Amino acid sequence: MDFYIVHVTVPAHTAEAIGETFWQAGAQGLETVAETDTSTTLRAYFPEAPAAENLLAALEHTLAAFDDHEGHLRDFAIERRPHEDWLAKWKADWKVQPVGQRWLIVPPWRRAEAEANLEWQGRLRLVIEPGMAFGTGTHATTQACLTLLEQLPTTPERLLDVGTGTGILAIAAAKLFPAVVCSACDTDPDAVAIAAANAQGNGIGERLQMHVGSVTAYPDGHFDLVLANLTAEVITALASDLARVLRPQGHLIAAGILSERQAGVAAALTTAGLDLRQTQTDGEWWAALAQRRPGDTPA
C-alpha cells in the first residue's frame, strides 16, 4: 500500500502549532527535515492521500493565528510513495535526549536504552510520545522551562502548568518535587486527555489535577509556582492572572517568547506585580523566571 508525504516550510516559531495541525488532520508521523533561525521545514506522513485543499486551508488558518505576519507558508507539496516501513524509520530518528542537569527525554520505545545507559542513571526520565501535543521536550522553549525549573530557588507546595500540552512540564515538576500538588490546564480538551495519559505513563497520574480551560479559572494566591510555556501574545494578555494566582513571593516560569518580544512581555509582567529574577536566551527564544512581589495586588 502506498503512503503520502506532505512537505511544508513555515516560520520557525509556528512549527509546533503547524505540527499539531498535521496530527489533527490524520498524520501518523512527523519530522523536522530542515531548520534555520527563521524557518522550519516539516514532513508529515499520511496513510491515505489527504485532501490538499482542505489541508492547506487548515495550515494557513493555523498560521493566521500568529499576528506578526513575518512569514508565510511555503513549498507545500504532497508526494505519493511506495510502501516502506516509514514508521520504523521515523521512530529511529527520535533519540533519548538529556536536557539540563536533571532531565532525560525518553520516547516510549527507547525506555530500555535509557535504563541501560549508566551515564543517565541519575537523571529524571520524562517519557513522552513525540508529536502528541505541544511539548515533546525537543524544542528550545520547553528545554528553557526545564532548565529554569531545576534552578528554582524554593520548593513549591502547589503548582499550575498553564497550556500544558503533553503535560511534560507538570510531569517534570512532579518528579522533581515529590510532595508538590500539581494542577494543569489547557483550552484544548485533546491536550488535557493526552497530558493525563502521559502523567499515568510517568507514574504521577494520581498527583495531577487536570482542567479544560485557562488560568482565569483558578483562585487568587493559590500557587507557589506557575509554568507558562505559551507565546508572547498570550503571556502578555494573561499576565495579571498569572500573577494573581501566585502567592506572594511565588514564582512564574514564562517561555515561548521570541527574543524580539521580550521587552513587551517583561513590561507586562512587571506591571502585573512580578519582578524578573532570571532570564535565559536560546537563539531566537527568551524565557524568564519571575517572582510576585510581597504584598502587591496584581494589576
Alpha-carbon gap, residue 264 to 284, rounded angstroms: 15
C-alpha cell at position 3? 503512503
Report which of 192, 204, 183, 227 is spatially closest to residue 124, judged by C-alpha positions: 204
Distance of CA 241 to the CA centre of its chain: 20
pLDDT score of 15 more than 70: yes
Catalogue all structural domains in the chain, each as residue range(s) with its CATH number: 3-92 (3.30.70.120), 97-292 (3.40.50.150)
pTM for the structure as a whole? 0.74
Q: What is the largest CA-CA distance in the chain?
A: 65
pLDDT score of 120 more than 90: yes
C-alpha cell at position 37? 533561525
User: 267 falls in which pLDDT band (50, 70, 90)?
Assistant: very high
User: 283 falls in which pLDDT band (50, 70, 90)?
Assistant: confident
Residue 142 labelled as part of a binding site? yes
Mean pLDDT on 292-298: 76
Place of cell 517534570: 172
Residue 163 labelled as part of a binding site? yes
Alpha-carbon gap, residue 214 to 89, rounded angstroms: 37
User: 239 falls in which pLDDT band (50, 70, 90)?
Assistant: very high
**For residue 70, what pLDDT is reported?**
55
pLDDT score of 93 more than 80: no
Residue 273 labelled as part of a binding site? no
Mean pLDDT on 181-208: 92
Residue 131 labelled as part of a binding site? no
Mean pLDDT on 150-175: 95
